[in-house]
Amino acid sequence: MQPQIQKHLVVSAICIALNVGLGKVSNLLGLPFTMDTIGTILGAAILPWQFLLLAAGLSSVVASVVIQPAFMFYIGTQIAIALAAVGLLSAGMFKSLPKAAIAGFLIGICSAIVSAPVTAIVFGGVAVPSISALNAVFLASGHSLWTSVLSGSMIVESIDKIVAGVIAWYAIRRLPSDMRA
């Protein structure tokens, strides 16, 4: 196997591990952020698209083994985020801090839209506690299950992903020069 491919595999493993593990690091500070997209956004900056999609998909698999089994159902979400990250990076959205925050917000919206059907159909509107609570509020106010799940996810995911976008911006600036695209 060529050294370059081996390096891509190791970097993919790092990106997967960052997606899965950084949430725990954020929890050490008592913050509720999942940070489950920083690895994907970094991967979009440094990996070929094949390895990026592999890393994104396997992030859900590894998360379901290490954190919580429900993550397995969100493979589609991770892949959608990977594609969104590639698009946003190409559009220069991670070149400044305000743009990175907007990029994070857009990734959050994308994540919410793709996750909502899974949460509604498979989990009946119940996922992580914060989203569940918001979903209940929307349901009680007369919205349908689908609308409630979508609205709850959008609020929580966009806050989470804005923080992730900002951190990813910092991290991209610190990549070794030979790795930066």
Partner 1 sequence: MIPPVRALGWTALGGTIVMCSSDRLVHFSLAVSIVALTVASTKSLKTIKTFVTISLPLLVPLILIHGLVNPQFEMNARMWSVPYRQEGITFALSVYSNLAVFLAIATGWANVNRDEFFDWMVACRVPVFLVGLVGQSIAMVILIEKRGRAVLKAQTARGIPTGPNWRHRLRALPSVILPVVTSLINEADQRSTALWSRGFLEYEFAAKDLPFGGFREIGWVAASIILPAAIDFSLRA
Partner 2 sequence: MIRLTTIRLPKTKQLDHVYVAPGLSLGIIGPADSGKTALLLALMGQAVAGTSFDRQSDLEIVDIGYVPSNPSFLFSGMKSDLSGELHLSAQFVGRSPDGLDEIAHRFQIEGLLARDPFSLSGGEMVRAALAIVAAKKPKVWLLDQIYDWLYPDSMDELRRMVESELALGHAVVETHTSSPQWVDRFDSAIFLDDGGETVVGVYPAIARRVRNWNLLSEVSRLSFRFEEDLGVRIDDHHDTDAIVDAIRPLIRESAQPGRQSSAKVEPMVKMDDLSFRYATGDFALGPIKMTLCKSEIVAVAGPNGSGKSTFLQCIADLLAPISGDLRILGDKPTKRRWEWARKAFYCFQNPDDQLYMPTTFEEIEKTLKALGRPLPSDIAARFESFGLTPYLDREPYQLARPVRRMVCLAAGLMSSTPVILLDEPAASLDVKARAAIQAEIERLAGTGVTFLMVSHDFSFIAETATRILKFADGRIVGDTASAPWPLDHLPPLLRVASRLGLEGARYSDIVGSIRPATAS
Q: Tokens 């030979």 — which residue?
A: 178
50 binds partner 1 (CB under 8 A): no
Answer whether 77's CB lies under 8 Å from 115's CB. Answer: yes
21 interacts with, out of partner 2, partner 1, none, CB within 5 to 8 A per kind: partner 1
87 binds partner 1 (CB under 8 A): no
Half-sphere exposure of 10 (CA within 13 A, CB side): 7
3 binds partner 2 (CB under 8 A): yes
Answer whether 58's CB lies under 8 Å from 79's CB. Answer: no
30 binds partner 2 (CB under 8 A): no
Residue among 51, 61, 55, 59 nearest 21 (CA) = 59
87 interacts with, out of partner 1, partner 2, none, CB within 5 to 8 A per kind: none
176 binds partner 2 (CB under 8 A): yes
Residue type, 68: Q
173 binds partner 2 (CB under 8 A): yes
Residues of the shown chain interacting with partner 2 in the complex, contacts defined by CB under 8 A: 3, 170, 173-174, 176-178
